[in-house]
Every structure is written in structure tokens, then in C-alpha cells.
Structure 1
């Protein structure tokens, strides 16, 4: 039975890339609806071909991970695309993305775009943020689609991996992909001056071949909630806090009101950025306040 990977899902059709680099347009069998299985872009599947162009998906293989928004499976890494300005860079939103990505066992890479639009003062501030996140163990790349700054630094990360480009609308995901692979000519839009945020230019998820890897340009996010994360596990997704926690006096320290907490000591000494801890506390409160699921 032939196998392949779904690289695009659109209007009830699934486009499967097989080992011969051929794309087969498939529909899902009725059994998927019956068993409430929705094939996702990134899925490894078995299919039955009626001819060399069309067929049916018969089986979806076990996924190593999946995301709901954007709907995609088996992702190796996520490029978290944040603009320096328009919309303004937000550490709170970035930390939210980082937690959600790492909780799905996906490696995050922080990419700050539109560096050419940032003032000198803004660039200096962003350089400090970038240094903070590198110290926390994250990979950070500063880029500009206009000047090609940092573009060459992205290619090695992409090769041989399945990546997702994720971020707010209007941060320049499609523009970045157009620079990485100019023949794509993906549609881009300016920031809406009325709404103060980007317009959605990507309407579906599709895996695109770039430099020996597959990259998904995804629709922008409007909200991100911690529906699957427990408060005891949150610090696992803050690598800088997790590393410090081994020096706390009490095992299982939540870094809230416990005495001799290494995390709070690191804040006072300046070894841990205060905003990282403040976001951790905010997320803890959010998890505690969410409504129980039955």
C-alpha cells in the first residue's frame, strides 16, 4: 500500500506527497468521519490510488504531535515570528507561544522580523531581549525581508526538518518565506491602520519545500490558551526557571511564596529577567482560574 505525507488540505481534498515526489489528490474515507479522525497537514498516511493523480486516504499513522491552531501534525520545530514594530514586539506574547510550542514537544526558534523598521533605540532594546532569550537556551535570529539581514542564518535550521512559521497576523511570515524562496510569491498585506493589526493573508496550511526541508506558512493566531497544561508542569516550559529550580530549598517549589527560592533570588540578582518571572506568575494564575473540564 503506497505511503506519503499530506502537504496541503483544502476544500475536502488532501494532497499527498509520495516517495517519488509525486502529489496525489486524495479524499478521506468515510471511516474517518465515523471515528472522528481528521487528517492533518503533516500526517504520514497510507493511501489507495485510483490513478497517478487521484486516490483515497485509508489510514493515518500515529502522530508524534499535533497542533489545533494551526491544524498541523508531526512538526519538528516552530519559527516563532515576531516583528520589531508594526505590530510591536511583545515578550508576554512570545513567552505564551514558547510555552505552548514546548508543551507540544516542538523545538522553538525565535525570529524577530522587520529590523530595518526599528529605530536605533528599539534595535538596542531588541538586542537585549535577544540576548536574554539566548541565555535562557533559545535560538534567536534577527531578520529583515527588505535588507535580507539574517536570512542566510535561517537556512541551516530549515534543512531536513518539518517547520511551522507561526505568529500574529502582520508580523511578516509570508514576506519572510518569499525571501527564503522567491518563486513562491505568497500574498502579503500591510498592517491595518484602523485595527492596528495585520490582515490574514494565509487561509490554509501548506507545507512548502525550502532548502531541503518542509515549511508551513500558517494563518495568524488570534488567541492562545493553556487548555492542556497543568500548573505543576508550567516551569518545565520555562527552561531558565527550570534550571534554577534545582537550587531551590524545597523540592517541588513553585516559586511563588516558598522561602529560599532560587528563582526569586535570581530575579533580585539580575540573573533572571523579571518579565520572564512575571509572565510565569500570570500563566500560573490563568491556569488556576480556568474552568474545569468534565
Structure 2
């Protein structure tokens, strides 16, 4: 049976790129899922490696979904190698709290994050200097951070170099310029963009579905924007591990299993006081910790 990768899901149809097709002549088959998928509560996702049966060279059925390396719920996509977390310098306002939420989500799913701050042309001093300082703090943790502008192509080539031989998801709050950034990276895409809403202070959703797009030597997903993230299944232990700087320094805590909240001899709190960990990072950790701890159980 032929195999391939789902590159788009739309209105109950799954568009499968055949594994054996060449990049110069891609073979894409429109498929439906078998009835047993719904019976077994299996939802095919963009990024899934699948076995399919083609009745002809245009239509077929999904027979099997191969084991996933990882999956995200919002946006719905699987087998992601890395995530470009897009934040804007302005319109909407840059938020380290939102960035840290995205980082926790992708880190907990074993996905490599890349931080991209867009619309740097809108940042005036001292905001520009503040963003440069924040970018350096995240680089010190170990993250790749790019400051970009689609107006003058600042940082665009730097971001593109990370795409080769990878599946990359773009994620971020609506209005931060994900589609504009992708258009700058690959002008042939001509993705629809829209201006920020001055009344709502956020962007309109211009991307309606998840789709894998061929850029350079990799596949990139443009995804619908969203404005909130909930830690519905994350445990407190997973949260601690997802804050890389806190997790690493936490190895030096006096007591094993220290969660860095009220415990004595906490190396993390000492590092915050010594300005080795930015205070906003620790504050976000405490905020997320309380959110998870107070989460109502799901039945």
C-alpha cells in the first residue's frame, strides 16, 4: 500500500503527499478517513504519516496512521520538528508571559522552539533596546531568537536557514504577522494578510486551516492564530522541566523534588535574587504553577 504525509486537512478531506513523488512533480491524493477512525475516536492530523489506498490518482482512503513523534492540539498538527514562536514588537504589544506560555507548550511536547520577534520597524527607543535585552536573555537560556521586519527584510534570511529538512510550525497570537513573515521568506506563497484591528487591538484570523507548505528544503505550517493557551494536561513536574533555566539551576536545590515555591535552600530563588534568572521568568513560572495546581480535574 502507498504511504505519504498529510499536508492539508479541510472539510473532512485529507490531502496526502505521496512519499515516492518527486519535489518537482508532487503527487497529492485527496483522501477521506475510514469509518473506523471515527469509531475509535482517531482524528487524522496534518503532519501524520499515513498508509492510504487510492482508487485512482486523485481520490483515496486513509487506512492507517503511523505512530506520532508528537502532536499539538492548537494548532492541530503532528510530527513537528520545531516551532517558530512569533511575537510582535508592537501591534499587538510584545508579552514575555505569552511567549513563555508558548515555550512551555512546545518544550513539553519535545519540539525545538525558535523565537521570532516581528515588526521591529515599529519599535522605537527605548523599546528596541528593551527587546534586544530580552532577546539576549532568552539566547542565554539556549534559544535561537531572531528580531525581524518584513518592511526591510531584517532577519528574514536568518530564519529561513533553520527550515531545511524539517517540519516547522508557525504559532503565535493573531495579528503578529505570521503570514507576512512567511510571505517575506517565500514570496511565491502569497498568503493572505490583514491589518491589526484598531478597535480590538488584535489581528483578524487570516489563516483558516493548517497546511504544510514547501519552503526551501523543508515543510512549514501556517496555522490559524489564537490568543490564549491553557495547560489542560500539563503536570507540575512537566512545567518545571519546560522552564529550561529553572530546571537546570534547580538541580542545585537543597531538597530533591523542590518545586521552587516555598521550599528552603532553593537554588532557583537564590538565582532570581542574584539576577541570574530574570524575575519575569520566575514570576511566570509561579503563575503557571498556581494555574496548574488550581486546575479543576477533568472527568
Range into which the TM-score falls when normalised by the shorter chain: over 0.9
Segments of structure 1 that go 5 or more residues without pairing to the other structure are none
2:9, 2:15 within 8 Å by CA — same for their partners in 1? yes
**Alpha-carbon distance in structure 1 between the residues aligned to 2:191 and 2:34:** 31
**2:274 paired residue among 265, 269, 274:** 269
**Alpha-carbon distance in structure 2 between the residues aligned to 1:60 and 1:263:** 42
Give the 5 Å matches for 1:142-291: 142-291=147-296
Segments of structure 2 that go 5 or more residues without pairing to the other structure are none
Give the 5 Å matches for 1:41-80: 41-80=46-85
Which runs of structure 1 show a deviation greater than 2 angstroms over 4 or more consecutive aligned residues? none
**Alpha-carbon distance in structure 2 between the residues aligned to 1:79 and 1:202:** 16
Counterpart of 1:6 in structure 2 is 6
| Larger deviation, residues 261-270 vs 125-134 | 261-270
Counterpart of 2:91 in structure 1 is 86
**Alpha-carbon distance in structure 1 between the residues aligned to 2:298 and 2:125:** 48
Tell me the alpha carbon deviations over residues 151-176 of structure 1, each in whole angstroms, 9 at most, x when there is no partner: 11012211110010000000000000
The TM-score, its normalising length taken from structure 1, stands at 0.98
The TM-score, its normalising length taken from structure 2, stands at 0.97
| Larger deviation, residues 124-133 vs 52-61 | 52-61
**Alpha-carbon distance in structure 1 between the residues aligned to 2:170 and 2:226:** 11
Counterpart of 1:111 in structure 2 is 116
**Alpha-carbon distance in structure 2 between the residues aligned to 1:224 and 1:157:** 25
Shift of 1:120: 2.3
Partner SS for 1:191 = coil
Give the 5 Å matches for 1:136-147: 136-147=141-152
**Alpha-carbon distance in structure 2 between the residues aligned to 1:61 and 1:167:** 28
**Alpha-carbon distance in structure 2 between the residues aligned to 1:154 and 1:187:** 20
Shift of 1:249: 1.1
